[in-house]
């Protein structure tokens, strides 16, 4: 299966992230900053180079590495990514809109699920080369959202339920 992760954008994001967790399970690699997670069956060379430049090592099979502000550590209890990353349970399909919502310090991509809307960090959304499909695991708009053929998981922004002009525009134009 072809990877639908934009590795060039991922490498730029990895350089910006203050905290990164990298776990290897066999040939599968999980990389997260706790707001997004990508999964690779085989790690692309450019991503491997970026991660090696940050960690100065490659995790052994089953090992987790954590880098925060340049300090690398090996968590004693490791992390179980399979309890968080469950693409098989993500069966509720949504639709990515072309709308961007400006938040305080970032921009959010508006995602539509039936007649409800959720927003995710647009910088993380750009990690996906596939711009149409999105899946969630439950009816909750706070559930993790899967993009890029379910290789990319992004946690949605938690925003207050208040009337927003963009919601009204979206409703009126029938997105």
In this structure, are residues 85 and 40 in contact, taking their beta carbons and an 8 Å threshold?
A: no
Give the rounded percent of residues in the chain with a pLDDT score beyond 90. Answer: 63
**In the prediction, which pLDDT does 170 show?**
65
Residue 150: pLDDT above 60? Answer: yes
**In this structure, are 56 and 103 located in the same domain?**
no
In this structure, are residues 13 and 127 in contact, taking their beta carbons and an 8 Å threshold?
A: yes
For residue 124, tell me if it sits in a domain: yes
How many CA atoms lie less than 13 Å away from 37 in the CB half-sphere? 23
How many CA atoms lie less than 13 Å away from 173 in the CB half-sphere? 10
Average of per-residue pLDDT values in the chain = 88
**In this structure, are 71 and 99 located in the same domain?**
no
Contacts of 132 (CB under 8 A, 6+ apart): 95, 96
**In this structure, are 74 and 98 located in the same domain?**
no
pLDDT per residue over 17-34, tens digit each? 999 999 999 999 999 999
Q: Using CA atoms, how far apart are residues 66 and 95, in angstroms rounded to an integer?
A: 33
**In this structure, are 57 and 125 located in the same domain?**
no
**In the prediction, which pLDDT does 116 show?**
87
**In this structure, are 77 and 95 located in the same domain?**
no
Residue 8: pLDDT above 90? Answer: yes
**In this structure, are 73 and 14 located in the same domain?**
yes
The encoded tokens of residue 169 equal 């525009």
For 81, the 3-state DSSP assignment is helix
**In the prediction, which pLDDT does 81 show?**
75
Q: Using CA atoms, how far apart are residues 75 and 64, in angstroms rounded to an integer?
A: 7
Residue 163: pLDDT above 70? Answer: no
Owning domain of residue 107: 88-158+166-173
pLDDT per residue over 65-106, tens digit each? 999 998 999 988 767 777 778 888 889 999 999 999 898 889
**In this structure, are 52 and 95 located in the same domain?**
no
**In this structure, are 95 and 70 located in the same domain?**
no
Q: Using CA atoms, how far apart are residues 66 and 73, in angstroms rounded to an integer?
A: 5
């Amino acid at each position: 299966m072809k990877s639908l992760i934009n590795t060039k954008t991922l490498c730029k994001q990895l350089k910006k992230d203050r905290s990164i967790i990298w776990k290897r399970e066999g040939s599968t690699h999980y990389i997260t900053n706790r707001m997004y997670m990508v999964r690779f069956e085989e790690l692309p060379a450019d991503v491997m180079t970026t991660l090696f430049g940050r960690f100065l090592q490659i995790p052994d099979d089953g090992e987790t590495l954590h880098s925060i502000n340049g300090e690398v550590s090996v968590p004693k209890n490791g992390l179980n990514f399979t309890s968080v990353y469950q693409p098989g349970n993500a069966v509720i399909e949504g639709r990515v809109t072309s709308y961007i919502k400006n938040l305080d310090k970032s921009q959010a991509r508006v995602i539509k699920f039936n007649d409800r809307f959720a927003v995710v960090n647009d910088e993380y959304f750009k990690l996906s080369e596939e711009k149409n499909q999105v899946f969630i695991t439950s009816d909750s708009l706070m559930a993790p959202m899967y993009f890029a053929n379910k290789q990319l998981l992004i946690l949605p922004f938690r925003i207050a339920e208040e009337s927003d002009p963009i919601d009204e525009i979206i409703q009126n134009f029938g997105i």
